[in-house]
A and B are shown apart, each in its own frame.
Chain A
């Protein structure tokens, strides 16, 4: 979007709210409703990749050294990675804002 959505006036919207620039969801960071974030303990992590596999939003990626981390622009803090992690290497930490 050309500007943040809370700045649009009603007459500035397209007819039927059609989105003319496709793919602009990239600009929308959906992670901002998260109340807690996953944090990896690299001493326990076995690099098995289950967290990557189970993340429902595909926000977890592998780093160059083989460990995993979440893209916090899109992670919703659902905690599924924590539940699935066999060596219990991930914990949810409350966000401070």
Chain B
């Protein structure tokens, strides 16, 4: 298999084609545009045999995805930022109806102020919609994750929609060497979708009915158990992918973890910069480790907890302003698991990279010096997080 230089957005649409998607409904929005434009080209040129449903908004795009998935079609969409917000109510409907739609979520900041650049404000506002979520660090992971996502989502033990997150611009618009598996190998790995229920006049069923108070709790608990239990399937599919395609994936990945007492944690493409910082620190004789939750929903608490048992300090990085919460959403997960597991570890929270602000390895190295030398960073006014690079 040889690597091909390609823009990651184009590669994402090629991955959807390799997955033999049958229906696509999406509305173009920066920085997701190249994904849906290329898919539209592939369908128009006859290279991809799929229904491309033109819609007037993201609300309609996700609604059309719900409809097409309910008929049993393998369904793909992609959006960013305001588009994901406009989809918001339908995101819950897709997961509640247990429809295995796959979305490439090209993460972007939310207005106001208007910003087309990357951060995680969009996905973090959608983090509890009941979708399985993975975060990608590079273009290869985007391609592989989209192929894996259909296999995970469509598994009879799962049947949930899945979001493949990639950072806007810093990942979506870069050109990277990417290895594509052959169509034959993908077909073997990912057989056609065999839906449990379909909307078909020959065998009518009712989908998306209402539930009285006597039933709603049980319905939501059943859905909750499905997303909790999906973790085992995500792991199984990642293992199978590693075996068949030779690229190893796991729920939580680590870098330079063994020697380091201090570890960092972040989601998405910033992890490449953190790894560069780790290598540079190593040259100075300093050891910093990295924990990368590739899976974010369901949250892999056991796997992360196991790693944290032997660590002294953890700095959690997030690309979203907490919005009045004590800390950012990733930190709050970690704080929960630290308390639940009775771990003795110093936690710090850093907000960075909002609205496309670059964070260089040098700034990460500065954070390491700050965290590794302090006993506890103090904050005023119940504000537990620091914002990297904010001018004051």
Contact = CB atoms under 8 A, between A and B. Distances in A.
B209 interface: yes
Contacts of A6: 214-215
A19 B199 CA distance: 12
A74 to B, nearest CB: 16
Interface in B213-231: 214-215, 217-219, 221-222, 225-226
Given A15-B98, A16-B98, A10 B218 contact: yes
B206 A13 contact: no
Nearest to B207: A18
A16 B214 contact: no
B222 A18 contact: no
B205 A8 contact: no
A13 B221 CA distance: 10
B221 A10 contact: yes
Between A10, A14, A17, the greatest number of chain B beta carbons within 10 A of the residue's beta carbon is seen for: A17
Nearest to B214: A6
Nearest to A9: B218
B323 interface: no
Interface string B266-294: 00000000000000000000000000000
A11 interface: yes
Contact of B196 (A5, A10, A11, A15): A15
Given A15-B197, A17-B219, A22 B207 contact: no
A65 interface: no
B162 to A, nearest CB: 15
B139 interface: no
B205 A20 contact: yes
B205 A22 contact: yes
B245 to A, nearest CB: 30
A25 to B, nearest CB: 9
Nearest to A19: B206
Given A5-B212, A16-B97, A16-B99, A11 B204 contact: no
Contact of B207 (A8, A11, A16): A16
Interface in B168-209: 196-197, 204-209
A65 B212 CA distance: 39
A96 B97 CA distance: 40
A46 B98 CA distance: 54
B218 A13 contact: yes
B159 interface: yes
Between A9, A10, A16, A19, the greatest number of chain B beta carbons within 10 A of the residue's beta carbon is seen for: A16
A8 B197 contact: no
B96 interface: yes
A11 B223 CA distance: 10
B155 to A, nearest CB: 12
Contact of A15 (B159, B206, B208, B211): B159
Interface string A10-50: 11011111111010000000000000000000000000000
Given A16-B159, A16-B207, A5 B214 contact: yes
A17 B209 contact: yes
B215 to A, nearest CB: 5
Interface in A39-82: none
Nearest to A11: B222
Given A10-B225, A22-B206, A16 B197 contact: yes
19 contacts: A8-B215, A9-B218, A10-B217, A10-B222, A13-B219, A14-B197, A15-B98, A15-B159, A16-B99, A16-B197, A17-B209, A17-B211, A17-B222, A18-B197, A19-B206, A19-B209, A20-B197, A20-B205, A22-B206
Interface of B: 96-99, 159, 196-197, 204-209, 211-212, 214-215, 217-219, 221-222, 225-226
Interface of A: 5-6, 8-11, 13-20, 22
Given A16-B98, A16-B208, 11 more contacts: A5-B212, A5-B214, A9-B218, A10-B221, A16-B96, A16-B197, A17-B209, A17-B211, A17-B222, A18-B197, A18-B206
